[in-house]
Amino acid sequence: MATLPLVVALNPSVDAEWSVPQIQFEEKNEIQSERRWAGGKGINVARWLRHLGTSGRLLLPLGGPTGREIAACLASERLDAEVVAIHSNSRVNVIVTPPRGHQMRFNAIPPRLSGPEWRALAGRVKELLPKSSMLVLSGSLPLGVPPDAYARLIRLANAADVPTLLDCEGPALVSGAGAAPLLIKPNHAELEAWCGFPLATEERVIEAARLLRACTGGWVMASGGHRGAWLVGPGEREIWSARPERTRPRNTVGAGDAMVAAAVRSITRGEPPAAWVAAAVSAGTASTCVDAGALPSAALLKKVRRGVRLTYVG
């Protein structure tokens, strides 16, 4: 069996986008159209991995009617997915998109996993790790899962000599960082919440990333939206920034997941760290140029990549 990245999506969803003529507070809002697709950070990463030409295995818990809808979506896309059945109904997240202005996003209450369901999922991760080139842990945690769930899975991966990429927030980020993943990818808000001070300048972003790196002992990729991303390595003089050309985004849903997938592809191909952040910013920026849930063309990806400016910060 081929060695592939293993993407664990603990809290998948159906993403439902409602298109509205405008958002009116304290008034009725008419939905003009609705699109639904399998979403959540881990599923987005798996979809992007395949789009970038790298196969991956997806492991996820699903339950109820929404879980069946997600499974049907994954089957129709022919994504390599293994399901751990749970009793709770999987969630539906809602994206409200007006013709102009900002999107609004509403994430539903996560499903609850029982103790046996969580142990079954963690046990399956352990079984699959020897056949995996990398472990990707992305997204929030469902109810019933221990807050250090990601830390436990990272330790399993480290014991199997499999590198991990972690993309999460809050307590899961705090505990996961201490388990020594190879790469951790917080966005601006997640890193700011973790370090406790505002990240108004590049210097402050790098300072916060260095503090987080001191916890992980590995690499930190701090993403900053249209400002690009900074990659801070274990060494004192291992810092790169990657900045895209300015674009007018159509949507920002899943941009961070595109970054994660591109970084995983770069890492598993044996490319140098500077290439990780350049590839990540290219994919993340391209993802904002298409509708939510859609994937950019190869031509668009190449165009965006040509506009990314990679700088060695030192």
* pLDDT tens digit at each of 314 positions of the chain: 568 999 999 999 999 999 999 998 999 999 999 999 999 999 999 999 999 999 899 999 999 999 999 999 999 999 999 999 999 999 999 999 999 888 899 999 999 999 999 999 999 999 999 999 999 999 999 999 999 999 999 999 999 999 999 999 999 999 999 999 999 999 999 999 999 999 999 999 999 999 999 999 999 999 998 899 999 999 888 999 999 998 888 888 899 999 999 999 999 999 999 999 999 999 999 999 998 889 999 999 999 999 999 999 98
Task: Collect contacts of 26-31 with beta carbons under 8 A, ≥24 apart.
Answer: 29/96
* 152 burial via Cβ count (<10 Å: 0-12, 13-18, 19+): middle
Which residue type does 285 have?
Answer: T
List of residues 6+ apart from 80 with CB closer than 8 A = 4, 46, 55, 56, 57, 58
Q: Where are the domains of the chain?
A: 1-21+32-134, 182-314
CATH of domain 1-21+32-134: 3.40.1190.20
**Active-site residue, 148 included:** no
Class level of CATH domain 182-314 = alpha beta
φ, ψ at 57 (rounded to 5°)? -105, 135
Q: If DSSP codes are grouped into helix, strand and coil, which group holds residue 181?
A: coil
Sign of the torsion angle spanned by Cα atoms 259, 36, 124, 89 = positive
Q: Tell me which residue of 277, 292, 282 sits closest to 247, measured CA to CA.
A: 282
Say whether 225 sits in a helix, a strand or coil.
helix
Among the options 80, 161, 257, 291, which is catalytic? 257
Identical topology for domains 1-21+32-134 and 182-314: yes
